[in-house]
Amino acid sequence: MRRSDSLGRTLPLVLLFLVASVAGCRGRDPVSAASAPDAREVQVVPVREAMLSRAIVVDGALAAEEQAVVSMKVAGRIASLPVDLGSEVVKGQTLAQVEPRDYELRVAQAEAMFRQARARLGLSPDGEADTVDITKTALVKQAQAVVDESKLTFERRRQFVERGIAPRSDLDSAEAAFKVADGKLQDAMEEVRNRQAVLAQRRSELELAREQQVYTSLRAPFAGRISDRTASLGQYVAAGTPVMTIVRVDTLRLRLEIPERDAMRVRINQPVNVTVEGDETTYSGRLARLSPAISPEARTLLVEAEIRNDPPRLRPGAFCRAQIVVEPSTKALMVPATSVVTFAGVDKVFTVNKDRAVEKRVQLGRRDGNAVEIVQGLQTGDLVVDKPGPLVAGDRVTTAKAK
């Protein structure tokens, strides 16, 4: 009896559970449970033809047109540094100054010795001309007077001897005195020439002292900017010690290595367009120099371009991409640069086939502003997705014309 009562109470509960299960299954929609995500709306743009010049695209690094490490020509303690890193300077501007007092005293000393040398030659201490007539100097005139006097004495004694009035020994004494006087005249003339040489030496020493005084100021050899400063205020520097580095940035030099297959197409004065990472501006220049030989190791031709940089926005050392225009305008297939996706060195775009995104690999060519040339992979009139973002091949899409 107890077992039949237990079954009687359990059976209604089981039946109730089965009824609820059946009702739940009838209310569920299997299609909605496995429903696919909504299609993504994308904007498409047509591949268009445009006239574009043909160019060789190579990468390179910018360098200063002129760069100089400037140093002091005289030793001393740096008294002033009016410029610093990044300062713009003009040609001849003072970059550094060492204490000039020692050099001022050297100039004063050299001037005094120079005036003394002029005075010994009988010249005005403050005069400019250093030439002198040797026969007009006091030393030579005095010696010449002695010679004249001894000559007269010799002639007089010779007449006395010939007349028998004086002995022969007097004539010999007069002749010896004349020869001694003539020797002293020659010695006086040599002394004057020596004083002339001393005067020339003193003038050179004075000019050198004045030049060293000028060199206490370090001046810019050309207009540019300070790219490095290696000395400090109050530091003692020896002659030749580097103080700072100055670079000329109004024109930059771009060294490029052209593959051998393109070497025959480059010429002097061909236009060069340069773009730098992070800067949308295109800078223009010209091909200025070509190497006469191809490198046997790299099989490339070294060329140099001059890029205008006024006002100075480009910096020496920056990595850039250059386009050397080698042919005039030709037809090219162009798409917006924003439609190209680059991953692992592969360039690709997305097109739409019915309602699915299709991935196509392309080969890029020249760049013109915000558009890029498609060398291979597309045809005129093809529609490509602009700004695809995270789009993946096979995604469901709906299209709209880009504005």
**pLDDT confidence of residue 76:** 94
As a whole number of angstroms, the distance between CA 100 and CA 136 comes to 41
pLDDT of residue 402: 67
Give the type of residue at 141. K
Does a structural domain hold residue 18?
A: no
**CA 330 from centre of chain:** 36
Residue 20 domain-assigned?
A: no
Question: What CATH number should be reported for the domain holding residue 397?
Answer: 2.40.420.20
Shared domain for 360 and 277, answered yes or no, is no
Q: What is the mean pLDDT of each run of 10 residues along the chain (403 residues)?
A: 44 44 42 55 90 83 91 94 92 94 94 90 78 82 88 87 83 87 89 88 93 94 92 93 92 91 90 88 91 91 91 88 84 90 91 90 84 90 90 88 68
CATH code, 268: 2.40.30.170
Is residue 13 in some structural domain? no
Mapping DSSP to helix (H, G, I), strand (E, B) and coil, where does residue 202 land?
helix
In-domain check, residue 28: no
120 part of a folded domain = yes
Q: Number of structural domains, the chain?
A: 4
88 and 231 inside one domain: yes
Task: Write down how long the chain is.
Answer: 403
Alpha carbon separation from 225 to 91, 95, 178, 220 (Å, rounded): 11, 11, 75, 10
Q: Among the three residues 214, 234, 267, which one is the final residue of a domain in this structure?
A: 214
Shared-domain flag, residues 234 and 296: no
* pTM metric for this prediction: 0.56
> Residue 303 domain-assigned?
yes
**What secondary structure does DSSP assign to 243-257, as a single string?**
EEEEEEEEEEEEEEE
How much is the pLDDT for 365? 83
Is residue 10 situated within a structural domain?
Answer: no
* Helix and strand element counts for the chain (H, E): 5, 20
pLDDT score at 210: 94
Shared-domain flag, residues 126 and 209: yes
Are residues 263 and 359 both part of a single domain?
A: no
- How high is the pLDDT of residue 112? 93
Domain boundary among 195, 214, 233: 214
| Whether residue 325 is found in the same domain as residue 336 | no
Tell me: do 274 and 299 sit in the same domain: yes
- Both 85 and 230 in one domain: the answer is yes
17 occurs within a structural domain: no
CA distance 17 to 388: 52
Q: 3-state SS string over 31-76?
A: HHHCCCCCCEEEEEEECEEEEEEEEEEEEEEEEEEEEEEEECCCCE
> Are 290 and 347 in the same domain?
no
Cis upstream peptide for 46 (omega within 30°): no
- Residue 403 confidence (pLDDT): 63
Supply the range of the domain harboring residue 373. 42-51+332-401
* Cβ atoms of 402 and 386 closer than 8 Å: yes
Are the C-beta atoms of residues 68 and 221 closer than 8 Å to each other? yes
**Predicted pLDDT at 35:** 43
- Answer yes or no: do 279 and 252 share one domain: yes
